[in-house]
Chain A
Amino acid sequence: ETGVTQSPTHLIKTRGQQVTLRCSSQSGHNTVSWYQQALGQGPQFIFQYYREEENGRGNFPPRFSGLQFPNYSSELNVNALELDDSALYLCASSLGGTSSYEQYFGPGTRLTVT
């Protein structure tokens, strides 16, 4: 196992609502990246946090926001949920500031928007 944990495992929300997903990184890792995986597709990069600062962002609207805490855990917040936000949300833990590019994924949160 990677040691990366996510909560909750599953979530059902209604269109227009807001949701917060949580991720705890692997011990010793200081970087968390968030990805969205729609059914039948590969994961798509949302954003990354390194030492509590956003360190890069993919092609997602501002209603997708995040935080990283001093213990390097992270939250993903999505406002004004849309039906197309239904997906598996994955966080990946890595060690930034080194030559390593490897990322290790948590089990994901499956979000259903109705």
Chain B
Amino acid sequence: RKEVEQDPGPFNVPEGATVAFNCTYSNSASQSFFWYRQDCRKEPKLLMSVYSSGNEDGRFTAQLNRASQYISLLIRDSKLSDSATYLCVVNAGGSARQLTFGSGTQLTVLP
């Protein structure tokens, strides 16, 4: 079983749609959670951290359920520029604080 599993995608949605991505993680000791965005052939960029209380940044809302080991990302009013691969990322703590990535979910927003 992969440490971080995401919806396989791809997701193709019209502009203005609401889209949700889900992710589960296997390590219950995980301490920090993130969503990164990666454009084609570019580096991952931090989209937002995810907190237990849930957090929102404009059109983006992230939720964390520690009991279910589940993370979600909701994008409202999708824009063409939201087209990218969305990576669910978990940090298991420890001295190295290395990030464990899911395989990513590809989103294409259509005009």
Contact = CB atoms under 8 A, between A and B. Distances in A.
Interface in B30-64: 31-32, 34, 41-46, 49
Interface residues of A, number: 28
B44 A43 contact: yes
A48 B92 CA distance: 14
Contact of A33 (B4, B46, B94, B99): B99
B43 A56 contact: no
A40 B103 contact: yes
Contact of A105 (B31, B43, B91): B43
A35 B87 CA distance: 14
Q: How large is the interface on B (under 10, 10 to 19, 20 to 34, 35 or more residues)?
A: 20 to 34
A112 to B, nearest CB: 13
Nearest to B96: A56
Contacts of B94: 56
A53 to B, nearest CB: 10
B99 A92 contact: yes
B62 to A, nearest CB: 14
A33 B91 CA distance: 13
Given A94-B97, A107-B43, A42 B91 contact: no
B98 interface: yes
A81 B57 CA distance: 43
A42 B103 contact: yes
Given A48-B96, A56-B98, A41 B44 contact: no
B97 to A, nearest CB: 5
B98 A45 contact: yes
B98 A48 contact: yes
Nearest to A43: B101
Contacts of A41: 103-104
Contact of B98 (A33, A106, A107): A33
Interface of A: 2, 33, 35, 40-45, 48, 50, 55-58, 90, 92, 94, 96, 101-108, 110
